[in-house]
Structure 1
Amino acid sequence: MNAKLLEVARVFFKLGCFAFGGPAAHIAMMEDEIIEKRKWMTRDYFLDLIGATNLIPGPNSTEMTMHCGYERAGKAGLFVAGIAFIFPATVITAFLAYLYVKYGQLPEVEPFIYGIKPAVLAIIASAILKLGKKAIKSAELIILGLLVLIASLLGVNEVVGLLTAGVLGMLYFYIKSKSISDFKSVTPFIFLFGIQATATKVSAIKLFFIFLKVGAILYGSGYVLFAYLDAELVTRGLLTRSELIDAIAIGQFTPGPVLSTSTFIGYQLSGFSGALLATTGIFLPSFLFVLILNPFIPKMRNSKILRGFLDSVNVAAVAVMLAVLIVMGKETLIEWQSIVIALIAVLLTFKTKVSTIWTILIGAILGFFLLTFTK
């Protein structure tokens, strides 16, 4: 393995071990690690990757690791980055699944998660400020971002918001520039995003194909994942709803993507081989989508009409991150303990050069002590 691939593996394995707080937090940590510290690419291009990634199915933050790996070390880097990021979550989840199957309960981790949640708010806020400065290039984009923010807070699906913003922005900036010379370059882009996933028949490797289908069509949060898995597993009698709820909970409080839920369920149903097949199935579409999409992103930026689309999607993506921050803040900052942890995290994030990973660790430790000794 060459030096760049080793670097990619180290970076994303480390992030995979500490990536708590959902996609917005994961992307914020990547921004700190990839842009601030290592300067693998410009912040503008990082924004382009975020905007494009939001438009395809699958776990956005995991797909961002693949894009970053691709940019640093080519196609091999794509696979190394994705696998390195996913690996810690799947190993931890498989171990927890073993404990769950053997003893019927999960270890007590709530005090640590209590502290991590407010800590990641500061990390997300920092990334929003940095990315927002690059995304906001005109008054029109500010207005578009505000509209997407309002729509997101009102419950409009994030993908609908992003696509609508992209199309409106593309049309507006096209009319403004009155340039149609490169409109033909839209064709491959439209074809790419017009691909529809088709359901696969259940076979002897049932778990693999169930999770492959979910991974190919999944948009949205853990709640959307719950709905998909409820339809695929609970209604078929493969899993009880309470078992599914426990599996989703595992995905929420382990590091990395919430889709590590698949590892837990796979182990429950078919042991180690089931965990491996389910995990492979749900993440495989993301590798393929990114492999297809990545070469188109520079072409989109070079096209006048698609540049307007990308700029609009980018500012919309920052608006969606801000909406996530607001919602998370309302749900998290409800007690003095969480507010104290959030304030300390803000100081660490904005006033020091402490790594985001250390901020998360400090938040976890503070959460444990504050929740254990003050409640």
Structure 2
Amino acid sequence: MSETGQPDADATSHPSFAEATRVWATIGLLSFGGPAGQIALMHRILVDERRWISEPRFLHALNFCMLLPGPEAQQLATYVGWLLHGTRGGVVAGTLFVLPGLAVILGLSTLYAVYQDTGWLEGIFFGLKAAVLAIVIDAVIRIGRRALKSRFAVILAAIAFVAIFVFGVPFPVIVILAGLAGYLRARMAPGEGTAVGEGESKALEPDRLHSSETTRSGAVRVIATWGALWAAPIVGFALLGGWESIYPRLALFFSWLAVVTFGGAYAVLAYVADAAVSSFGWLSAGEMLDGLAMAETTPGPLIIVLSYVGYIAAFRAETDLDPLIAGLIGGALTAWVTFVPCFLWIFLGAPYVEKLRGNLRLSGALSAITAAVVGVILNLALWLGLHVLFREVGVLEFGLARPPWPVWGSVDPWAVGLMVVAIVALFRFRLGVVPTLAICAGLGLLVRFLA
């Protein structure tokens, strides 16, 4: 015990597999708010409360996950689970991060497909969106405080925000340029700004965390195992119904997305919406927006909306199955080919990333990426704010700049009021994510009935 009567940080014990599983299940159930809120939640539980991993180690893992295609928050959970308990820990952490959201989105998709009327859901979603906005604002503040500890980091975050919000620079370009800037700075001025997120929190010693040897045979085993798991349902459904049937088409399309989905969920969803609506005709533009509203208010990664798309596509396809069964298979298959590749990227790359953790130039590049990501998250908060608080959002054009711009007369006073309630609940009374979401959902439903 310390002199203050608090447990000594150095006395933090390594969690048992059962204890870690319970915590990962809790994180999966509470992971609302998109990547920003989810990363903040994991930081609070894993670094601040449990002290299972130090802050630099957490940020190092986050930096790597930001470079990968797919949902970075789910990959971060997988990475930390792997650090704590090896492959089984990564599988459990990554799976439990997704399962609650997948169950909810499949249930909502079933209701939507059967009734085609989400009027009663609109009120709940209306309130939840206001709460999600407050959660993302909280995440920007939390992550910014920890990641922006130098003038260089603040400048990077500001440049990243202006680049993506004002000029629409693609996220991968921002990541590459930020990483290059951090690498060059670490090379020219070693020790200055190479660790944007310093402020070591005492946690488990590094040698108590899992770290695999980087061998060619190990990499081959990972590729063979997870590659086979990825491909098995695609080949299986193709053999059963032919390559032109709905399930192989869904699996191949979303498998391809799993490889190229850089730039965050919103960048991906813009392409998915166009392809699913215009190219494949699986659903209408309005139905795509309804699915996004569902996904924004479920736990887990926002990209889980792809399961909704797969559900509706299979529900309406000509198969020999009951439409509800066909839809559930389509939604589950879409989730499989979306998230299984994430385990492949982590288990293949994490050992190499851990081996290079002491490399100052690499640390400088990855830390610079974290700083830039703060600006990107701020962009997400502002984007959400515009679309939650205003009924109409346009584009302000001047030169090369095309930032989103609200129609000021379309401000929604009810949404503003609910957002204020959420902010007061989170910042003033510190009620936590779940109570805040519950309060706003109930108020949103009440507002819809009154209006």
Normalising by structure 2, what TM-score? 0.70
Residues 44-85 of structure 1: CA deviation (Å, up to 9, x unaligned): 332222222111100122222212322333221211111112
Q: Does 1:173 align with 2:186?
A: yes
The CA deviation string for residues 298-353 of structure 1, in whole angstroms up to 9 with x for no partner, is 34431021121022111111221122222222333443333333333333333444
Separation of aligned partners in 2, 1:282 and 1:304: 33
What is the CA–CA distance in structure 2 between the aligned matches of 1:327 and 1:233, rounded to whole Å?
23
Asked if structure 1 preserves the Cα contact closer than 8 Å seen for 2:261 and 2:268, the reply is yes
Question: Once the 2 structures are TM-superposed, how far is the Cα of residue 150 of structure 1 from its aligned partner?
Answer: 1.4
Find the counterpart in structure 2 of residue 163 from structure 1: 176
Q: Which secondary structure state, in structure 2, belongs to the residue aligned with residue 369 of structure 1?
A: helix
Asked whether the equivalents of residues 140 and 378 of structure 2 are also in contact (C-alpha less than 8 Å), the reply is yes
Residue 185 of structure 1 corresponds to which residue in structure 2?
none
Q: Which residue of structure 2 lines up, in the alignment, with residue 286 of structure 1?
A: 342
State yes or no: 1:210 paired with 2:253.
yes
Is residue 20–residue 253 contact of structure 1 (8 Å, CA) maintained in 2? yes
CA distance in 1, matches of 2:135, 2:164: 20
Instruction: Give 1:182's aligned residue.
Output: none
Q: CA offsets, 1:254-295, max 9 Å, x none?
A: 332233233333333133333322211111111111222323
Q: How many residues align?
A: 357
- Cα pair distance change 1:224/1:314, threshold 3 Å: closer
Query: 1 CA distance for matches of 2:176 and 2:96?
Result: 30
- Contact 1:345 1:363 (C-alpha < 8 Å) held by counterparts: yes
For residues 441 and 374 of structure 2, what CA distance do their matches in structure 1 show?
26
Q: Distance in 2 between matches of 1:341 and 1:232?
A: 34
1:256 to 288, 297, 300: 300
Alignment of 1:184-333 (within 5 A): 203=238, 204=243, 205-229=248-272, 233=276, 237=280, 239-242=282-285, 244-268=288-312, 269=314, 270-333=326-389
What whole-Å deviation, never above 9, does each CA across 1:194-248 have from its counterpart, x for those lacking one?
xxx9xx9994433323222211211234443344435665566462444555544
Cα distance change, pair 355–156 in 1 and its aligned pair in 2 (3 A): same
Q: Percent of aligned positions with the same letter in both sequences?
A: 28
Structure of higher CA gyration radius:
2
Corresponding residue for residue 33 of structure 2: 21
Q: Give 1:104 shift.
A: 3.6
Name the CA distance, whole Å, in 1 between partners of 2:290 and 2:433.
28
Q: Report which stretch shifted further, 348-357 or 303-312.
A: 348-357
Structure 1 contact 116–364 (Cα < 8 Å) conserved: yes
TM-score for the superposition, normalised by structure 1: 0.82
AA paired with 1:51? Answer: N
Is the deviation greater in 94-103 or in 306-315? 94-103
| Paired position in structure 2 for 1:51 | 63
225-234 vs 215-224, which moves further = 225-234
More helix by share: 1
Deviations 1:135-170 (A, max 9, x none): 223222222222112112222222221221111121
**Aligned CA-pair RMSD:** 3.2
Which of residues 11, 33, 38 in structure 1 aligns to 2:45? 33
Structure 1 Cα separation of the partners of residues 101 and 109 of structure 2:
12
1:5 aligns with 2:20: no
Q: Where does residue 82 of structure 2 map in the other structure?
A: 70
Q: How big is the shift at 1:174?
A: 0.5
CA distance in structure 1 between the partners assigned to 2:39 and 2:185 by the alignment: 29
* Local SS of the residue matching 2:90: helix
**Amino acid in the other structure paired with 1:331:** H
